[in-house]
Chains A and B, each alone.
Chain A
Amino acid sequence: MSGGSRREFATGIDISRALRFRFNNRSYVGHPGDTLASALLANGVQLLARSFKYHRPRGILAAGAEEPNAIVQLGTGEAAEPNLKATEIELFDGLVARSVNCWPSPSFDLRSAYQLAAPLMGAGFYYKTFMWPDWHLFEGPIRRAAGLGIAPQDPDPDRYIHKYAACDVLVVGGGPAGLASAWEAAEAGLDVILAEIDFRLGGSSLWRGERNEAERLEAALRAHANVRVLTRTNVFGYYDHNALVAVEKLDGEGARQRLWKFRAKRVVLATGAIERPLVFANNDRPGVMLASAAQSYLRRWGILHGRQIVVFTNNNSAYEAATSFVEAGADVTIIDVRPRAKIPDIAAVRVLPGHVVKAVVGRRAANGVTIGALDGGQTFTLQCDLVLMSGGWSPTVHLFSQSGGSLRFDEATQSFIPNRAVQAVECVGAAAGELSGLDIEPLWEVPGPGPKFVDFANDVTAKDIGLAREHSFISVEHLKRYTTLGMGIDQGKTSNVNGLAIMGELTARAPGDVGTTKFRPPYTPVTFGALAGPLVGDLYRPVRYLPAHDWHAAHGAVFEEYGGWARPTAYPFPGETWEQAAQREAATARKGCVLLDASPLGKIEVVGKDAGTFLDRIYVGNASSLKVGSARYGLMLNENGIIIDDGVFVRLREDRYLVHTTSSGADRIAAMFDEWLQCEWTGLDVAILPTTTQWATLTVSGPDASEVIRETGTDIDLDDFPHMTFREGSVAQLSARVLRASFTGEASYEISVEASNATQLVGALERAGRPLLLMPMGIEALMILRTEKGFLHVGVDTDGTTLPGDVGMAGPIARKASDFIGRRSLLRQEALREDRLQLVGLQSHKGVLPVGAQVLRDRSVPGPSDGFVTSSYHSPTLDGPVALGLVRAGRSRIGERVKLYDMGEHHSAEIVDTVFFDKAGERLRA
């Protein structure tokens, strides 16, 4: 092992500039163009990781996204990124990284003792060993022992952005084939996006040394008006209709990463191929590397990190690497499993045909290999400081497979190649299986003893695959799950084909008959931050604010989210809890007057000649019989007969209704109206105008409400304005719509003005109401008031099974001749049962019942339920508890005492009428 010297012929680094970085608490120097992996290799750091399960010492195997060993934690603190591959990290000045899965360091790892237990820890070890008495007893220590990187605890300080792009042709991969395809498409006048995962274009030309054509094309493409070139861009997902998703790493100020959502008319996959390791004993030792990766480190990064090199191969491609190292002055021996007749004639390199590397000698670094004939016989040892291997190539078909395309096993290249596309996609270059001249002879596993690693990332050996075979897990999907083959951070990029081919040999099946597991996004891991993009924190689910929000805030409101709106829960005085405030506000509504912001109340105008007919089909009750200027309460059902919304609707004119929905139902119900009109009742002359946010609605309620309106100043005749009627006029010199309807049980005026006039109106009402001690009231008090009155709150007092009859609202149905949504469902046997859950009052004589408490059928716990509490409060007016609940056959059980149970506590209550206060409703008409 040499210290490694940067060679002058390196094509990929700027040797004139130094970048300082720290790895495992030691300082190093690299250069622009380095990856963390190349910089570490150049500094002679060969042992830089411990394996996942056995904590074996590991070095760098590969040079790209397929790296299974060199997993590091990048950065520190809240911006740290766990589990990145050192081969994918572009070096920058001040970079800090450390190894994962070892403590205190990869060269002295306390858990390396696990290796001693390795013979006991084969595939399925966890499942079989930690069964008794309970897996959960062992789970904690095992999870701690097996962890890789550490996720930061604090919120990610970085910003991530999303961007959409459409193009004629998306070329994935900026190697020779991708560059040529992009150029061809651009010259044909097409819009082209070229995405490359590396920070440099060129692909294999960067390490094969054929730079002229690639450099010419790169310059031409960057200058071409039709082409957008994206480097550092990982196209990780291929979805339907040529939708592809990529993450671009950004540098400098601003966002850290950009998520691209591409829609391409045509996709060209020029994703290249990944070299496969050979499977022999101790093939995972530091200093054993893929031949092409070593060639990369030599040619692109100028690192000659071995002088005495053994190349072990079953195909021709490794000869190129061997030649490169000979040219660089190294001593190279090729061990080729193929017979002499198949060996290419390269004078400069020493070749031993018909032989295999049986094992690597050395623990923390390879310092020799044991060599023998394939079929046994004498073995001998050869000293070396670097072992290169090539078991052939696997075309990078991940995206093609994700697109739905099928694969087939190609005998000539011993690899899975694209077969049939189902989307507008084509593969080019090595990704298409263009691996000519390999002349490969399959060698899936070298016979003999010792740990022969197939999956380096998850420590899966050839023996584990044998174990899976013994236990009949021979399907490729079972093999994967039983052994964890291909389930590591690298997703088996170097191991899947070797693994399934070994299983094929064990079960006398060709690799093509074993098949591959399903390729799924992402191609390589993607940060959650990039996927979430800007939609985090307050933007994750934005809440809507009332038009007079600032007025409420200035009046001490405590806000909560109700149905997507930030609304006042209560307005506590200093020293008051919000619960106490709600009691005070509710009491005031019964004695004087209160002001409630009801702006989120759903408001949908239904306009047209057939508006009445339409609403007759929507509501349980009649709409077309309503007089202009009057209002009526209505229930809406779905076709299953279930109550989905309720509210008061107003006839504004012959052909114009104003439908009020619940606050949370406003958007949903408007959409439902539209669906029925566009899809079912296409002949009706009706238009739907959702107007909820155009209006601010302030409700004045209480015995003194009309006095407040009078004092505010209005041209509406308040003496001729009965309950459930509607007027248009001026209030506080603002153009207003006023509805007399009530959810409090007190005389109420719902005043709606243009949303922009909300603060003006609320200010005018406040001034006019001051002598009458008008008080702002929040949602909590409103809930107390409506529960006292037994007013239904859809979604609280009803659930996904509640029919109109269950809440005592079957009356309007009998009086109605025509059909409406859900009506037929009310005639089903199930709807007519007498023991359905029905809404009743529940009178507790000892404290407030918990919402959700179960009504016990026979006092046993656990035991059958006879219903549950839906709404429950302390009533300040009645100075006692009030509650509503859905109780089995409840209406026929008025007067009965029932036992209730909730969270370990027993309660009792009497079943009573739903109306606790002002049963005759006289106060509404005051």
Chain B
Amino acid sequence: MLLLTCPHCGPRDETEFSCGGESHIARPSLEATDDAWADYVFFRTNPMGVTFERWRHAYGCGCWFNVARDVVNHRILATYAMTDPKPATSETAISNGLQQSAELAR
């Protein structure tokens, strides 16, 4: 069971949250092509590694936020606001995340 950090409420059990799937997907306009629209509605990335997804503290404050999570080992690499840009999957971002999970582990 994951331990997620709600920006308002702090670290809580996964059971308090609901996952809203992949984040940072731009909503196309009405003029979008069928392919672009289908891509938005149906298609998601499924990487073996870092995913960026949005979670809601459903049984808590109701806040939506973003989580960068490594799906291989479930390490939480970053937790950030919905309005924040997608962090670069650079070494720094990941090491920051690792630092965070190390802190949680301590």
Contacts and interface: CB of A to CB of B under 8 A. Distances in A.
A240 B63 CA distance: 23
Interface of B: 1-3, 13, 20, 23, 27-30, 32, 34, 37, 40-41, 54, 56, 58, 62-64, 73-74, 82-83, 104-106
A29 to B, nearest CB: 45
Interface string A665-684: 00000010011001110100
A243 B105 contact: no
A265 B64 contact: no
B105 A679 contact: no
A220 interface: no
A240 B32 CA distance: 41
B83 A241 contact: no
Given A239-B1, A241-B1, A678-B64, A640 B41 contact: yes
Nearest to B76: A241
Given A422-B73, A424-B105, A682-B82, A824 B2 contact: no
B21 to A, nearest CB: 11
Contact of B2 (A241, A823, A829): A241
A64 interface: no
Contacts of A424: 105-106
B30 to A, nearest CB: 5
A679 B54 contact: yes
Contacts of A404: 73
A245 to B, nearest CB: 9
Given A241-B74, A243-B3, A823 B30 contact: yes
Interface in A618-633: none
Given A241-B1, A241-B3, A243-B3, A266 B28 contact: no
17 contacts: A239-B1, A241-B3, A241-B74, A265-B104, A266-B105, A422-B73, A424-B106, A639-B41, A640-B41, A675-B20, A675-B56, A679-B54, A680-B27, A682-B83, A828-B34, A828-B37, A829-B34
A169 to B, nearest CB: 11
A679 B73 contact: no
Contact of A242 (B40, B41, B54, B105): B105
Given A639-B41, A819-B29, A679 B20 contact: yes
Chain B binding surface SS class:
loop
Nearest to A639: B41
B105 A265 contact: yes
A241 B28 contact: no
Contact of A824 (B13, B37, B58, B62): B37
B82 A678 contact: yes
Interface string A816-827: 000100011100
Contacts of B28: 824
Contact of B13 (A263, A639, A680, A828): A263
A658 to B, nearest CB: 20
B23 to A, nearest CB: 8
B70 to A, nearest CB: 11
A725 interface: no
Interface string A632-671: 0000000110000000000000000000000000000001
B105 A240 contact: no
Contacts of B32: 824
A170 to B, nearest CB: 13
A240 B64 contact: no
Contacts of A242: 3, 105
A475 interface: no
A678 B23 CA distance: 12
A243 B27 contact: no
Nearest to A425: B105
Nearest to B4: A241
B83 A240 contact: no
B58 A675 contact: no
A240 B13 contact: no
Point out which of A240, A404, A679 has the most chain B C-beta atoms below 10 A from its C-beta. Answer: A679
B41 to A, nearest CB: 5
Interface string A691-720: 000000000000000000000000000000
Given A422-B73, A424-B105, A639-B41, 5 more contacts: A240-B74, A241-B3, A242-B3, A679-B82, A823-B30
Most-contacted residue by chain B among A240, A674, A819 (CB, 10 A): A240
The residue in A422, A424, A824 that gathers the most chain B C-beta atoms within 10 A of its C-beta is: A824
A759 interface: no
Contacts of A241: 1-3, 74, 104
B20 A265 contact: no
A423 interface: yes
Contacts of A680: 27
A674 B83 contact: no
Contacts of A243: 1, 3, 13
Contacts of B64: 674-675, 678-679
Contacts of A239: 1
A265 B58 contact: no
Interface in A781-837: 819, 823-825, 828-829
A266 B3 CA distance: 14
Nearest to B58: A671
A263 B56 contact: no
Nearest to B66: A679
Contacts of B13: 164, 243, 261, 263
Interface in A526-552: none
Nearest to A239: B1
Nearest 3 A/B pairs, CB to CB: A424-B105, A241-B3, A243-B1
B34 A423 contact: no
B2 A674 contact: no
Contacts of A640: 41
Contacts of A422: 73
Nearest to A817: B30
